[in-house]
Amino acid sequence: VGIFGNVQQQTLEVVYDVAGGKLGFGPGKCS
């Protein structure tokens, strides 16, 4: 598999809606 790693996830808002079957990316929320 390819793997989307944590360096590339830095500063993005990553949302796991597991029950809803979707994963979200949002603009940086932790800076």
Partner 1 sequence: RQATESRRLQHAHTVKISSLLPASVCTSTKGNIKKASLKVVHRHGPCSQLSKDKANAPTLSEILSHDQSRVNSIQSRIAFNSRKNSLEDSQATLPSKSGSSLGSGNYFVTVGLGSPKKDLSLIFDTGSDLTWTQCEPCVRYCYKQQEPTFDPSKSATYSNITCTSPLCSQLSSATGNSPGCSSTTCLYGIQYGDQSFSVGYFGKEKLTLTSTDVVNDFLFGCGQNNQGLFRGTAGLLGLGRDKLSLVSQTSQKYGKYFSYCLPSMSSSTGHLTFGNSGTSSGVKFTPLLTDSQSPSFYFIDITAISVGGRSLSISKSVFSTAGTIIDSGTVITRLPPAAYSAMRTTFRQLMKNYPMTDALSILDTCYDLSNYTTVTIPKINFFFNGNVNVALDLTGILYAASASQVCLAFAGNSDATD
Binding site for partner 1 (CB under 8 A): 1-31
Instruction: Report in angstroms how near the CB of residue 10 gets to partner 1 at its nearest.
Output: 5
Question: Token pair of 31, please?
Answer: 């800076």
Instruction: Report in angstroms how near the CB of residue 28 gets to partner 1 at its nearest.
Output: 7
Distance (Å, whole) CA 28 – CA 11 = 5
Which residue type, as a one-letter code, is found at position 17? D
Instruction: Report in angstroms how near the CB of residue 12 gets to partner 1 at its nearest.
Output: 7
Distance (Å, whole) CA 20 – CA 29 = 22
